[in-house]
Every structure is written in structure tokens, then in C-alpha cells.
Amino acid sequence: MGMFSARTDWDFQPNELTSLLAAKRLRGDEILDLTESNPTRCGFDYQPQYTLEALSTRRSLVYEPHPKGILSARAAVAEYYSRQGIALDPDHIILTAGTSEAYGFLLRLLCNGRDSVALVKPGYPLLDYLCQINDVIPRHVRLSYHGGWHLDLQALNVELAARAKAVVLVHPNNPTGSYTEQNERENIVASASSAGAAILSDEVFHPFPMDGAHPAAPSFATNNRCLTFTINGISKLLGLPQLKLGWIVVSGPSREVEGAISRLEMISDLFLSVGTPVQQALPLLLQDPAGLTLQIGTRIRRNRAYLATSSGKTSAVELLGGEGGWYAVLRLPRIRTDEEWAHVLLKEWNVLVHPGSLFDFEEESIVVMSLIQKEEIFERGIVRILSAFDV
């Protein structure tokens, strides 16, 4: 329609899967939802005495806005990194109302209209939309699976040579669960710094390694070799997306860091969108007295172990390696496409999964599921999926 901008020309038609889901819900069918990724609906023990009390301090009745965020909150973020052995200056941290806002600020900081950034595919679908509404062109670089996930570094270099302004990494990636490993990291950092491009590392899933003990690769917040923006927040770390608190850590060569911070400070000053109560609560929340990171981590590891054991009983399906994060990627027989599989699983078995095409898998028979769903629902869903293969 002529009245609206081309950047909002979206297709609002419900697809077949969402229409079928709506019809089933209307009928009152019990759906085993293996796409649930809203942590506040997954039965975690939030211990309101800590979470809500942290929000009720009288300091929140005073409005003293700071474009980077209240110093005590930024110091608490620095403290969170120092517990991982990373020393940060709170002045190099900027608070945002969630990580999506952080992406918006960074795309506005780095790109003119029609500039491009390199995005990894398969990947988080929202990133293409965030590029689109900021008039940035997403250029896709492939991750492919050969026993593990590997980034096409040659394709990345082509995008950098064509002047991509940034390399966007989700570390570990959603939904493949692959961390940017050491060799890839060195290549990416070397290429980005010689091309004069920035690195954006979205680390919302970094605190959720699958092997339990340590993330498979370090945070990019330590990278000083090129301008680097490390994004994280409490929506995944503490399972609190509704509090809308994220942050950007800026690292790199000092002149570039200073330039980026003054500009980001000005961008943020135009909105001042992070609420005072959540900033005042952050020092207490980040101590995680309710043990939320551990509760969520334990859930995803249990669900994945269950899925690995049960899917191991048939050669019809294959669980593709994931080293961290909240999702599992399952390869189903190629007798149907991913969309057909998602449709059949919902229609015949009342199990909801994501078709891989949502994340831009090139392979045709991949489905994706969330690992944070309650164990009982998750296990019943997996039993039903596998019963389709006589397991």
C-alpha cells in the first residue's frame, strides 16, 4: 500500500501451520508445544521473594537518567564478567531495553541505508527483520553440518570485501547451538580488522553450555583486535525477558571504542528506554539468588540427554550436534519436507515443532525444538514424534 514504507511490506497471512494450530486450540485439543521458549511459562522457580523484592527499592522513585544506564547497574554487569575472569570498565557498557534494542542501536551506529552486514544462516529469524527496519541489507553466510557446524569463512570474506559493515555472530548460534570456535574466531577477527568491519557477538545463550561445566569458547568481550560489540541481557541468563534489560559491551582499539561509545550514548539519550526499577534491581538480580541460570541449564541438559537417548534408538532420525543454547535440531527422513513434517506432527500427533525453514536451513527435513519446555511435556512430545517411526 502506497501510504506505508516499503520496509514494512510484510506478509501478514497466517501460514498453514499457524492456522491448523489455531483450529486445534479452538477445538480444545491438548497440544504438546515443543516450540515453547518463553521461560516464564516453563515452571521455573522464580522465588518472588528475591526477584520482586529486588524491584521494590525506594531508589526507583527517583528519576536520574543516564544515557549509558545507572552506574551501579553497569558496575554489576562488569562484576558479572569479572566472575568469568574478564575485566571491564563500566564506562564501556551501555544498557538497553533488551537485546533487540541493542541490535537496533548498533545497526544505526554502523550502517547507512543500503549498507550490508553479514548474518549467519541457519540463524535467528528476527535478525533479518531488524536489518530490514533499519534499511540494512542482510547478507547470509552459511553454517553447514559435517559432524559439527562449520562457518563458510570464504563466503564471509567475500561479504567483507564487498564492504559489509559488520559480522553478526550469535555465540552459540540459535538454533544450531554452535559456539564460534577458536580457529573460526581467529579467522573472523583477522578478516574483520583488515576490512575495517565491526563484530557483533550476541551471547544470550553463552551461559548455557551443553556439557555443563564451561562454555565451549570464550566471550568476545575480551576481543580488542577490532571494534567489537558483545550483546547480552537477563532475558535468557535469568529467564526474565519481561524485565527488558540488555547490555552492549564495547571493546577494541581505544580510539574506535571511544568514538563508538560517544555515539551510542547519544543514540541511547534519544530514547532513555531502560526503566529505573530494573536498573536498580540489577546488582541483586545478577547475583541470581534463585539460581535461575542453573535451573534453566539443568533443564536443557536433561531434555537434550533424553532426546539423545531416545532418538538414538532409531536410525530414522538424527540429533545434530549442539554445544549450547536452548534448542535442538533434529533431522527427519527426507520423505517429507520440514514444513510437511511440522504439519503432520501437529495434525496427527498434536505435537508442535518449528520447521527448519523458519531458520533458513537449506536441508529440507530439519525440525527445531526448544529444550526449556517442562520435562514432562517435552518427554511426551518426543515419545509421540518417535512413535511416528515405530520407536
Ligand X SMILES: Cc1ncc(COP(=O)(O)O)c(C=O)c1O
Q: Which residues bind ligand X (CB under 6 A)?
A: 98-100, 124, 170, 174, 202, 204, 233, 235, 241, 246
Name which of 204 and 227 has its Cβ closer to ligand X. 204
Name which of 100 and 311 has its Cβ closer to ligand X. 100
Asked if 223 and 182 count as a contact pair (C-beta separation under 8 A), the reply is no
Tell me the closest approach of the beta carbon of residue 95 to ligand X, in angstroms.
12
CA–CA separation, 160 and 185 (whole Å) = 15
Nearest Cα to Cα of residue 80 among 230, 265, 276? 230
Secondary structure of 222-259 as H, E, C letters:
HCCCCCEEEEEEHHHHCCCHHHCCEEEEEECCHHHHHH
Tell me the closest approach of the beta carbon of residue 372 to ligand X, in angstroms.
11
Collapsing DSSP to helix, strand or coil, 16 comes out as helix
Name which of 133 and 161 has its Cβ closer to ligand X. 133
Tell me the closest approach of the beta carbon of residue 174 to ligand X, in angstroms.
4
Nearest Cα to Cα of residue 68 among 274, 228, 296, 358? 274
Name which of 181 and 256 has its Cβ closer to ligand X. 181
CA–CA separation, 122 and 287 (whole Å) = 34
Tell me the closest approach of the beta carbon of residue 383 to ligand X, in angstroms.
26
Name which of 160 and 372 has its Cβ closer to ligand X. 372
H or E stretch including 320?
A: strand 318-320
Name which of 198 and 238 has its Cβ closer to ligand X. 238
CA–CA separation, 342 and 101 (whole Å) = 31
Distances (CA, A) of 330 to 16, 103, 174, 304, 361: 21, 29, 14, 11, 12
H or E stretch including 343?
A: helix 338-349
Name which of 35 and 280 has its Cβ closer to ligand X. 35
Tell me the closest approach of the beta carbon of residue 126 to ligand X, in angstroms.
7
Distances (CA, A) of 225 to 186, 232, 363: 10, 20, 35
Collapsing DSSP to helix, strand or coil, 140 comes out as strand
Tell me the closest approach of the beta carbon of residue 102 to ligand X, in angstroms.
8
Name which of 100 and 180 has its Cβ closer to ligand X. 100
Tell me the closest approach of the beta carbon of residue 315 to ligand X, in angstroms.
31
Tell me the closest approach of the beta carbon of residue 132 to ligand X, in angstroms.
16
- For residue 202, the number of C-alpha atoms closer than 13 Å in the C-beta half-sphere is 27
Beta partners for residue 231, in sequence order: 202, 248
CA–CA separation, 389 and 391 (whole Å) = 6
Provide, for the chain, the percentages of residues in helix, strand and coil under a 3-state DSSP scheme, each rounded to the nearest 5. Answer: 45, 15, 40
Name which of 133 and 190 has its Cβ closer to ligand X. 133
Q: Cβ-closest residue to ligand X?
A: 98
Tell me the closest approach of the beta carbon of residue 163 to ligand X, in angstroms.
25
